[in-house]
A and B are shown apart, each in its own frame.
Chain A
Amino acid sequence: MLSCFEATRLMSQAQERKLTLKEHLLLRFHVVVCSGCRNFKAQIGTLRAIARAYARGGKERAEPFGSRWNGGEVMTQ
């Protein structure tokens, strides 16, 4: 079985290259039984989304905490 370290390494590399079938299967088996790595898998995708949002000016469009909670999913002007 893959170690968690190896699993995180593969999950990171999957952002740059297509994993081989073997790597892909090993990773799948690992993630099924390891909740830490399952969370990591979700986070690495989120991290990419965060970075891209940032590079597209996400910070500028954000608002201080509190100002947006006037009732639900508001996208204020």
Chain B
Amino acid sequence: MNEQGDQTIPSHSASDVPRSQGTPGATVFDPSFLTELRHQMVCFARLQLSDPHVAEDTVHEALIAAMENAASFEGRSTFKTWVFAILKNKIADELRRKQRLTEVRSSSQCNEEEDDFSDLFDRHGFWLADRQPRRWENPESALHDTQFWQIFEACLDHLPPAQAQVFMMREFLELEASEVCAAVGISLNHLYVMLHRARMRLRRCLEEKWFQRGSPC
């Protein structure tokens, strides 16, 4: 990727970081935890950055930057949150720098998904009776449940990749709509269409797999 060294990359590598010194943050250096974390980060980065090498490099930079402060963290969750915050910023920088890094296949894929909605709405555009969104009970409590997050990830995985990508750029990285458009090279209207589709799919998936689970319909 970017060999010019215009970013300040610390000279030491992750393996040079001091080992446990009895601080609570020391658990962060547990190899299996780091391996798992790194894996998650690479998955996350790859979804955003089409080039796997760029994704790996970005994760590496984020990990190194986070490691420098690792000792001050109380535990793994805080460390992970911190690492992902750094990673998100690095991905956003990368996307801004290399505009159009990722090709979002526009027209063909759009049309392919055009009739997504025919099983949701009647021909006048009104909800079919059994497809109406239901009330979600207690969504806050879902956020504390590991199983919910597994379902959320599965629902994300089922999105068409281009939709997943723009959804994550918008909602995970919190880029502005115009920034997402610039990064993937699509019009604002196209972005609106893609985000609408992504949200329709995600909400339906979450409703079926989580919020209405077990209830007859």
CA distance A55 to B124 in the complex (A): 37
The smallest C-beta distance from A49 to any residue of chain B, in angstroms, reads: 8
A55 contact set on B, CB distance < 8 A: 84, 88, 171-174
A12 contact set on B, CB distance < 8 A: 192, 195-196, 199-200
Evaluate whether A44 and B199 lie within 8 angstroms (CB atoms) in the complex, with A63-B144, A65-B147 already known.
yes
CA distance A44 to B85 in the complex (A): 23
- Most central of A17, A55, A63 by chain B CB within 10 Å: A55
Chain A residue nearest to B129 in the complex (CB): A36
A46 contact set on B, CB distance < 8 A: 136, 139
Does any Cβ of B come within 8 Å of A62's Cβ? yes
CA distance A60 to B124 in the complex (A): 43
CB contact between A52 and one of B136, B142, B174 (< 8 Å): that residue: B174
Chain A residue nearest to B200 in the complex (CB): A8
CA distance A17 to B135 in the complex (A): 25
Q: List 15 A-B contacts (CB under 8 A).
A: A3-B125, A12-B199, A15-B199, A16-B177, A37-B127, A39-B133, A44-B199, A47-B203, A50-B143, A51-B171, A53-B143, A55-B174, A60-B77, A60-B80, A63-B144
Add 6 more A-B contacts to A5-B125, A63-B144 (CB < 8 A): A5-B126, A16-B192, A36-B132, A50-B139, A57-B84, A60-B80
Main secondary structure of the interface of A (DSSP, over half): helix
Q: Is A54 a contact of B125 with CB atoms below 8 Å?
A: no
Does any Cβ of B come within 8 Å of A9's Cβ? yes
CA distance A16 to B173 in the complex (A): 14
Does any Cβ of A come within 8 Å of B4's Cβ? no
Q: Is A36 a contact of B127 with CB atoms below 8 Å?
A: yes
Q: Is A48 a contact of B171 with CB atoms below 8 Å?
A: yes
> What string of 1s and 0s marks CB contacts (under 8 Å) between B129-169 and chain A?
00111111001001111111100110000000000000110
A61 contact set on B, CB distance < 8 A: 77, 144
Chain A residue nearest to B124 in the complex (CB): A3
Does any Cβ of B come within 8 Å of A42's Cβ? yes
- Most central of B135, B191, B199, B206 by chain A CB within 10 Å: B199
CB contact between B147 and one of A17, A51, A64 (< 8 Å): that residue: A64
Q: Is A47 a contact of B202 with CB atoms below 8 Å?
A: yes
CB contact between B127 and one of A4, A48, A56 (< 8 Å): that residue: A4
The smallest C-beta distance from B163 to any residue of chain A, in angstroms, reads: 12
The smallest C-beta distance from B9 to any residue of chain A, in angstroms, reads: 24
Does any Cβ of A come within 8 Å of B46's Cβ? no
Does any Cβ of B come within 8 Å of A6's Cβ? yes
B195 contact set on A, CB distance < 8 A: 12, 15-16
